[in-house]
Structure 1
Amino acid sequence: MKKRNIFSRQAVNFLWVLLGLGAGLQFIEVIWAASKGYLGFFSMMVVIVTEIVITGSIYVIIYKFLIKPCNETRKLFKHFIQSGSFQELIDQDYQIFPEQNEVMQKLDSILDKKNIIELSTKHAELLALQNQINPHFLYNTLEAIRGDALCEGIDSIADTTEALSTFFRYTITDTGNLVSVEDELENVENYFKIQQYRFGDKLDMRVNFPDDYARILECKLPKLTLQPVVENAIFHGLEAKAEGGVITISLEMTEKKLLINIHDDGIGIDEEELIKINQRLEITSGPLTEEKRKRGGIALPNVSRRIKLLFGDEYGIHIYSIPNLGTEVRISVPIITNREQRNQ
């Protein structure tokens, strides 16, 4: 909605010109009336009445287009301070200065983003309460199963149980929004070990590092970013292949970004469906909906939304795919290490 600018520099200059003309006319009247006698006095009265009409009109204009909107805006500011309601302030018809519209749009965007983050947090807390399991009970049970498996010499069950215990511990433990790439890769390896118990040698996973891998391992990214992508690669890319396949995780750094590519040589995605998926990955606002999926896990749009809300729209997830050849998911986040966090 385009708002009316009620306090531009041109309007102020115009008012000063009118007031200046009024003062000048009054001075001329006095001089002229003194030189003309009675006739001059009559003419002076006509001019004064005319000035009163003009001055009154100017006052009405100033009140209607300046004083009244300022008072209404002031009331909206007071209402915002008292109640926290900001929509009426943003939707008001007037703007007192040219930059007000841009300021209000940015304020609306910031408050909307804050609201989305709060809703996401409440949604996650609700899911956590719905699926709440006593962690100590879970860990102790898994450790007991692992101990029995070791006693019986069944190493595969012992290793899988240990991976499952570690995976749950990482998922449930509160470590904050950001974790290291090293922690995320370790969690993915535990998750993949669990899936290998089911699929056996049908699946394989490889991780490719560049020369500066030590710095990459220290980089930060949102917790549980990689595991949902690997899960999608298994269930939507490789499971349908009779011969199985390989998941390859590659990491690289540009000047400002950490890029993580997760590739599978599965069945791929057709072009029309791929466009729809990438469009959902770009959405950062709107109602939070539970993504309908054939199997469980955290939907990729939610992961991409979280990245964008934390770091900005230039980051997130994008998918490339060719049917019957495979799919590559590219994750981009800013380069953040412990050093950058301390400097912020």
Structure 2
Amino acid sequence: MKRKKFKYLSSRVTWLIAACAACFLLYLAAWTAVAVREERHMALVLAGFFLFAAAAAVFWRWIRRPYLENSRALRLFCTGYTMNGLFSQRTALSPEMEDAVRKIQEIMNTDKLISATKKQAQYLALQNQINPHFLYNALEGIRGETLSAGLESVAKMTEALSTFFRYTISGSENLVTLEDELANIRNYYIIQRYRFGEKLNLSVEYDADHESEIMSYCLPKLTLQPIVENAIYHGIERIIGEGRLRIKIEVTTRRLIITVSDNGIGMTEERLREINSRLGDMTLDYINPEKESHGGIAVVNVNNRIKLLFGEEYGICMYSTQNVGTDVEITLPLIQKDGRGTYEK
């Protein structure tokens, strides 16, 4: 859709300044012609050109360049590419614009916005509509009855489901230990095994010599489960034969890297580029339910929550080969919980 240029104040100011500069140059040109013909006032003509050049340099340095920087930051923000540039501008367009940007930054830093991506829609629905204690008590009652009837497999599944929901629904902390997150994944795996049976297998790999240290690192709650679920339903479920899920945990001097791999159907290069493009953008469009799509939305939600909490240098990247499998690489800062219950890098 073509925009009307003169609808915007910036276009009007630009054309007005350009017109004034053109008029001044025409005046200088006429004055120069007279001075050359009469061979006098040349010093004044040179002073006029010097004044014009100085004014142009000041205009470019103090007005035009800061304006272009602000416009570029706003354009990138609107396309979802970055948010940091919006908050780091040295020169604001106006006091009102500075206040508006500050207000956006305050909203971005609130727990309310972070929690918008904390859980998938189904978890939020459960949290809003089901009394957690009623759910736990009902599941415990079912488990007790099945144990009495000798149905140990059903009792085991019910226990896993109860523990999974307790972890998913309860608590308000943004960060949990890797040990707790993996325990939730194992409960989720137990539940899925009752559906897929021997077709589904999970392995977790890490340096056993540093297990206690690795398990104490923290990450956003419900980081792994949506990605594991995505791997099962969009990858492994569609293949014939054994489905293998692998969670590999690596620690560098500054980062915690978790890779969730599957041997599912993978995806095309075009689809992979599309998802990685969305993962590279810092956008809030996913909060609008009308814009959600089934493919990849879980990964996008997790990625955006990581970036909101830790910064744009962290997040998710996907690698995939069609009919071979998919790797989802999660990069996080090294954060541990100290004895006082606070978090430190």
Q: Where on the TM-score scale, by shorter chain, does this alignment land: which range? A: 0.5 to 0.7
CA-to-partner distance for each residue in 1:229-277, whole Å, 9 max, x for gaps?
1001100110001213110001011111000011001111110001111
TM-score, structure 2 as length reference: 0.65
Paired residue for 2:252? 254
Q: Return the alpha-carbon distance in structure 1 between the equivalents of residues 94 and 206 of structure 2.
A: 44
Q: Does 1:194 align with 2:191?
A: yes
Distance 1:114 1:234, change over 3 A: farther
Q: Return the alpha-carbon distance in structure 1 between the equivalents of residues 324 and 344 of structure 2.
A: 44
Distance 1:110 1:328, change over 3 A: farther
Residue 343 (structure 1) shift: 5.3
Are the aligned partners of 2:114 and 2:309 in contact in 1 as well (CA < 8 Å)?
A: no
Q: Does 1:112 align with 2:109?
A: no
Alignment RMSD: 3.2
Are the aligned partners of 1:317 and 1:332 in contact in 2 as well (CA < 8 Å)?
A: yes
Q: Return the alpha-carbon distance in structure 2 between the equivalents of residues 254 and 106 of structure 1.
A: 39
CA-to-partner distance for each residue in 1:152-173, whole Å, 9 max, x for gaps?
2111111000000000000111
Q: Return the alpha-carbon distance in structure 2 between the equivalents of residues 129 and 244 of structure 1.
A: 32
Paired residue for 1:180? 177
Q: Does 1:215 align with 2:207?
A: no
Are the aligned partners of 1:163 and 1:194 in contact in 2 as well (CA < 8 Å)?
A: yes
Aligned length: 250
Paired residue for 1:226? 224
Q: Return the alpha-carbon distance in structure 2 between the equivalents of residues 303 and 255 of structure 1.
A: 23
Distance 1:236 1:312, change over 3 A: same
Match of 2:283 among 282, 285, 298: 285
Are the aligned partners of 1:113 and 1:285 in contact in 2 as well (CA < 8 Å)?
A: no
Residue 121 (structure 1) shift: 3.5
Q: Does 1:275 align with 2:267?
A: no
Distance 1:217 1:328, change over 3 A: same
| Aligned residue identity for 2:162 | S
**What SS does the corresponding residue of 2:257 show, helix, strand or coil?**
strand
Paired residue for 1:10? none
Among all aligned residue pairs of Structure 1 and Structure 2, give the percentage whose two residues are the same amino acid: 47
CA-to-partner distance for each residue in 1:91-136, whole Å, 9 max, x for gaps?
xxxxxxx943499999876643542454454687994587420111
Are the aligned partners of 2:335 and 2:343 in contact in 1 as well (CA < 8 Å)?
A: no
**What SS does the corresponding residue of 2:260 show, helix, strand or coil?**
strand
For structure 2, the residue ranges without an aligned partner over 5 or more in a row are 1-9, 15-58, 60-88
| Aligned residue identity for 2:212 | A
Superposed, which structure 2 residues align to 1:1-344 within 5 Å?
99-101=90-92, 111-116=103-108, 117=110, 118-121=112-115, 127-128=124-125, 131-210=128-207, 211-287=209-285, 288-290=287-289, 291-293=292-294, 299-339=298-338, 341=342
Distance 1:323 1:219, change over 3 A: same
**What SS does the corresponding residue of 2:240 show, helix, strand or coil?**
coil
TM-score, structure 1 as length reference: 0.65
Higher-Rg structure is: 1
